[in-house]
Amino acid sequence: MNTKSDSRYNSILLLICLLALGYRVYACTEVPAVTSDLFRNLGWGSHFFEDSFSIYTKRDFSFKPEVWSFFGNNLIFFYPPVAGFLFWVLSFFGAGLFWAKLLFTSFDLIVAYLFKRHVSLLAATLYFAAPASLWYSSHEGQFESLQVLMITLMILSFINKRWLFSGLFFALGLQVKLSVLFVVPWLLYKIIVEREAIVRFVIGFLAGILPFLGFYLVEPMLLVNPLRQGELAFNPYFYNPFEASRFLWVPSWLVYSLALVTLLMLLVPFASKVKTDNTKSSWISLSPYYSFILYLKSALRAQFWYPLVIPAFLFCIKEKKQLVHLILALYFLLGIRGALFISGFEFGYRENQQKRAVMQQCLYSCNIQGELSSFLKKLDL
């Protein structure tokens, strides 16, 4: 393309990013529609440092009559300490759902900038305007964007030989959600090649773990809490689209669509690598991405927002720009349900009107420890 057409092309991509940002800010002003996870997480966060480090020994029902506890199901707090600390900070300042979602959106914006800097503006646009991210991050308040940011910074820090920071971000990411573990094969290979990284990486890792040591002394197995979410078998990305018991309320057309897209996400990189770069190091660089996709398609339990972490793994192959673009385009297509909700076509599970009305009162500021009765009085219920 010539300079003039390049400028026009970049202007179009920037316009798409601005439109996506505009929608994201608007979505932050909306009450979550399909999940109340953010509301409960703020409630858990408000108690994070109470009774020393015992938060992981409690269940949500033990906090009744606080309003958020009625949104639970007698469950423990699933997420590791960095996630808990983030929600403690938000609840400490009385931040409502809007501010939490705006923060998660800012994490997405930072990652989009890193895509633009290290890959291309097209990659940044495909990431930032992806329907799944628009809906589940900015509208519903899922905090995968924090995990994406930690994994991205960990990978880039290691590539740039900032090994202490890489270890730090690995530790912090591990204590948000466990998705960072999919990067371990790539990380071990890199450490073997660059052995001088070991000491600094370990120092950084310990710096990220030690501040939260008290929680591990009380509950040594807290990192596996996300695996204790009950026995409900639900996975809209399951490898067998004809096993109806895995999909509950999800319509068959959506199941087949997601099955096709995830199959392409396995085949397209494979075909590309075999044709252009069939080397051991190249396959190892793809291992975080591939291992996550295989996990996603075989897991007993998965939710629609789980794939939001996929783009982070692509920084391991950031120099393969064409392949990154292809994968991000397929990732864009994974957001079918999000795109339908954004366009006003709503279906499947939704939070009931009473719960949404209660959350509406906590949109901008919130006494998350307030009693349910005080919230219901404002609704004349």
Contacts of 6 (CB under 8 A, 6+ apart): none
Q: Which H/E stretch holds residue 304?
A: none
Which residue stretches of the chain are H helix?
3-28, 37-46, 81-92, 97-118, 121-128, 131-133, 144-159, 163-174, 184-193, 197-209, 213-218, 252-276, 280-298, 310-313, 321-333, 336-342, 353-360, 372-378
Range of the domain at 59: 3-378
Residue 44 to residue 63: CA distance in whole angstroms: 9
Supply 53's token pair: 């480090």
pLDDT value for 199: 95
Residue 333 to residue 171: CA distance in whole angstroms: 31
- Write the DSSP assignment of 149-197 as a string of letters: HHHHHHHHHHHTT-HHHHHHHHHHHHTT-GGGGGGHHHHHHHHHHSTTH
Please give the chain's pLDDT, 381 residues, in tens. 567 778 899 999 999 999 999 999 999 999 999 999 999 999 999 999 988 888 999 999 999 999 999 888 888 898 999 999 999 999 999 999 999 999 999 999 999 999 999 999 999 999 999 999 999 999 999 999 999 999 999 999 999 999 999 999 999 999 999 999 999 999 999 999 888 999 999 999 999 999 999 999 998 888 887 776 655 678 999 999 988 888 888 899 999 999 999 999 999 988 887 677 778 888 899 999 999 999 999 998 899 999 999 999 999 999 999 999 999 999 999 999 999 999 988 777 788 888 899 999 999 998 999 888 888 877 765
Burial class from Cβ neighbours inside 10 Å (0-12, 13-18, 19+) for residue 320 reads buried
- Write the DSSP assignment of 31-69 as a string of letters: PPSS--HHHHHHHHHHTTTTTTTGGGG--GGGGTTBGGG
Other CB atoms within a 10 A radius of the CB of residue 82 amount to 21
Number of domains in the chain: 1
Supply the angle between the helices 37-46 and 81-92 in degrees, to the nearest 10.
80
Sign of CA dihedral 128, 133, 139, 142: negative
Residue 77 to residue 196: CA distance in whole angstroms: 38
pLDDT value for 2: 67
Supply the angle between the helices 37-46 and 97-118 in degrees, to the nearest 10.
110
Q: What are phi and psi of 236, to 5 degrees?
A: -70, -5
Q: Which H/E stretch holds residue 72?
A: none
pLDDT value for 259: 94
pLDDT value for 279: 81
Residue 259 to residue 327: CA distance in whole angstroms: 15
Q: Which of 97, 112, 34 is nearest to 303 (CA)?
A: 34
Q: Which of 181, 178, 262, 175 is nearest to 215 (CA)?
A: 175
Residue 211 to residue 44: CA distance in whole angstroms: 19
pLDDT value for 158: 97
pLDDT value for 274: 62
Other CB atoms within a 10 A radius of the CB of residue 193 amount to 9
